[in-house]
Structure 1
Amino acid sequence: MTSSDGAWHPGSYLRFAGERARPFVELVARVAAEEPRVVVDLGCGEGSLTASLARRWPGARVTGVDSSPEMLAAASASASDRVSFELGDVADWAPSEPVDVVVSNAVLHWVPGHAELMARWAGALPPGGWLAVQVPGNFRNPTHALLAELCRSPGWADRLADAGPAPDTVLEPAGYAEVLTGAGLAADVWETTYLHVLTGTDPVLAWVRSTVLRPVLARLDDDDAARFTEAYAAALRNAYPARPDGTTLLPFRRVFAVGSRPLSAG
């Protein structure tokens, strides 16, 4: 693994698999579809959570879609007679048949204009269909604000000024409620701030390395990526100091939006 290749690395992402799985579980728990036949997981990653949807709905055919060949290679281990995976960009996805449940977990913040995309997905739901979306809501937190500030700093701005995360990348919960209700869905929207207890050396850096830091480092060669990473790590250590017991607390806000189309107008 080189630091600047820009590829998704399942091993790095799975270092915090438990913490990343919890929002998915809590999102899907609010989907009250009884006997869906077709379920799609958009941005399925390495596939283990996608496979859990087949266990949740034993009568469903489940398809995971992801744009990363590396993630899909890992996902093949979770394939079965009812679970399949395909390469595709969620920004271009449109249902080719009625889809009873559409899930998109921690993906849409990568897609500019994703509110319009959500509205299209919602509009395509059949009666009784469900759309469930979760996005990180921490773009104003130090993990992201410090990264954006460093990208705009002297020495990096010529290459990275537009690479840092923008504070308005995702909507506030009320914005997602508007998207869902505007598409004729009953909306269930909420937010949760998880307080992750991390261990190890520079654990916050390890957390973001496989997510928000990845596209920034993709613009740099290995030497510059190492210099940038060390400067960012120092800023993170100051913002998220280790506690006396050696652990580090990382508050992480997430926004959840679940919508359902009524079976009938009555």
Structure 2
Amino acid sequence: MWDPDVYLTFADYRGRPFHDLVARVAAKDPRRVVDLGCGAGNLTRLLIERFPTAVVEAFDSSPEMVAKARAHGVDARVADVRDWTPEPDTDVVVTSAVLQWVPEHVELIRRWLAALPSGAWFAMQVPGNFRAPSHHALVELADAEHWRGELDGVHLLRPGCVLDPTGYAQVFAESGCEVDAWETTYAHQLAGEDPVLEWVSGTALRPVRARLGGGERWERFRAELAPRLRAAYPRQADGITWVPFRRVFAVAHKR
């Protein structure tokens, strides 16, 4: 379960990588544009505006996110990326902050590229911060003896769940694409009480909440995680907490 309102609390910061990604897509008059994992649909609107003559296909595995996307005027549907196959007229595929949740996503990319027409564009972005203190603190707490039993088997994002830019570049090159791959570390300036806890609550902590439910056990886990995050990301004298966030990008153009 995703909470769109919690996720959108930091919509500007979460949206900037999407802008940086799509800026490298040089498609002209595509027939079909696909937003693979559209989330709340607020960024899909940018694709609709940029490619006004295209059919924009949008879907997400979360019914809550799809409902929010529809409220944003996006004709989204509920579907799993594992089950998706490109239509023959798919000229642009965009997927932002989705594939890190899919362990077999590299094989899916190869399959999708084989099905895309010549000249198609595939643009992807995934977080690359799984060695960051925030994720270390989360995994360490989930693995602690008093939580291990309840959280055993929960799909937490860990180092190795995504490739580096060179790894993705190699995958795309082997599939007959020209590729531009890079990484960027954003310095997010967060304010408020426990802002890093609020940030991870919208994404990385989602599987923990799904397992514990939204009640007392969930609040206890957050309460134990909060001081670890405060120590890792100290609040500055001006009240701001700085959070470095690395992301990995690749834009491929199929020959």
Which bracket does the TM-score occupy, shorter chain normalised? over 0.9
> Contact 1:42/1:66 (CA < 8 Å) preserved in 2?
yes
Correspondence 1:40 to 2:34: yes
Of 161, 184, 188 in structure 2, the residue corresponding to residue 169 of structure 1 is: 161
The residue number in structure 2 matching 1:29 is 23
The residue number in structure 1 matching 2:8 is 14
Q: Which amino acid aligns with 2:227?
A: A
CA drift at 1:161: 4.1
Q: Which amino acid aligns with 1:175?
A: G
> Contact 2:3/2:202 (CA < 8 Å) preserved in 1?
yes
Correspondence 1:187 to 2:179: yes
Correspondence 1:224 to 2:217: yes
CA drift at 1:120: 1.3
Moved more, 46-55 or 36-45: 46-55
The residue number in structure 1 matching 2:87 is 96
Alignment of 1:102-121 (within 5 A): 102-121=93-112
Unpaired runs of at least 5, structure 1? 1-6
CA drift at 1:123: 1.6
> Could you tell me the TM-score, scaled by structure 1's length?
0.92
> Could you tell me the TM-score, scaled by structure 2's length?
0.96
Cα-to-partner distance string for 1:20-77 (whole Å, 9 max, x where unaligned): 1110011000000011010000100111211110211122110111011111111113
CA drift at 1:119: 1.3
> Contact 1:104/1:132 (CA < 8 Å) preserved in 2?
yes
> Contact 1:27/1:133 (CA < 8 Å) preserved in 2?
yes
The residue number in structure 2 matching 1:55 is 49
> Contact 2:123/2:252 (CA < 8 Å) preserved in 1?
yes
CA distance in 2, matches of 1:137, 1:123: 26
Q: Which amino acid aligns with 1:85?
A: A
Residue-pair matches, total: 253
Q: Which amino acid aligns with 2:244?
A: P
The residue number in structure 1 matching 2:59 is 65
CA distance in 2, matches of 1:122, 1:255: 19
CA distance in 1, matches of 2:153, 2:231: 24
The residue number in structure 2 matching 1:246 is 239
CA drift at 1:171: 0.7
Q: Which amino acid aligns with 2:198?
A: A
Correspondence 1:75 to 2:69: yes
Of 110, 127, 150 in structure 1, the residue corresponding to residue 141 of structure 2 is: 150
CA distance in 2, matches of 1:53, 1:61: 10
**Percentage identity across aligned positions?**
53
Correspondence 1:208 to 2:200: yes
Correspondence 1:130 to 2:121: yes
Two-structure CA RMSD over aligned residues (Å): 1.2
Moved more, 164-173 or 11-20: 164-173
> Contact 1:145/1:167 (CA < 8 Å) preserved in 2?
no
CA drift at 1:84: 2.3
CA distance in 2, matches of 1:229, 1:209: 9
Unpaired runs of at least 5, structure 2? none
> Contact 2:36/2:58 (CA < 8 Å) preserved in 1?
yes
Cα-to-partner distance string for 1:132-168 (whole Å, 9 max, x where unaligned): 0000000010111111111111101112244332211
> Contact 1:205/1:233 (CA < 8 Å) preserved in 2?
yes
> Contact 2:129/2:247 (CA < 8 Å) preserved in 1?
yes
Cα-to-partner distance string for 1:97-126 (whole Å, 9 max, x where unaligned): 320001000000011111111111122221
Task: Give every structure 1 segment of 4 or more consecutive aligned residues whose post-TM-superposition deviation is greater than 3 Å.
Answer: none
CA drift at 1:78: 3.1
